[in-house]
Amino acid sequence: QVDLVESGGGLVQAGGSLRLSCTASGVTFSKHTMGWFRQSPGKEREFVAAINFSARDIYYADAVKGRFTLSRDVGDPTVYLQMNGLSPEDTAVYFCAADTSTSRVRLGVPDYWGRGTQVTVSS
Separation between Cα atoms, residue 73 and residue 75, nearest integer Å: 6
Give me the long-range contacts of 53-59 (CB less than 8 A, separation at least 24): 57/102, 59/35, 59/106
Q: Which helix (H) or strand (E) holds 66?
A: none
Q: Would you write out the chain's pLDDT as a tens digit for each of its 123 residues? A: 789 999 999 999 999 999 999 998 866 666 789 999 999 999 999 999 999 988 899 999 999 999 999 999 876 789 999 999 999 999 999 999 999 999 999 999 999 999 999 999 999
| Closest listed residue to residue 89, CA positions, set 67, 59, 57, 112 | 67
In one-letter notation, the amino acid at residue 5 is V
pLDDT of residue 86: 98
Q: Which helix (H) or strand (E) holds 109?
A: none
pLDDT of residue 27: 62
The CA-atom distances, in angstroms, between 24 and each of 27, 28, 43, 75, 84 are 7, 7, 27, 12, 24
DSSP letters along 9-60, please?
Answer: -EEEETT--EEEEEEEESS--SS-EEEEEEE-TTS--EEEEEE-TTS--EEE
pLDDT of residue 28: 61
**98 close to 112: Cβ distance less than 8 angstroms:** yes
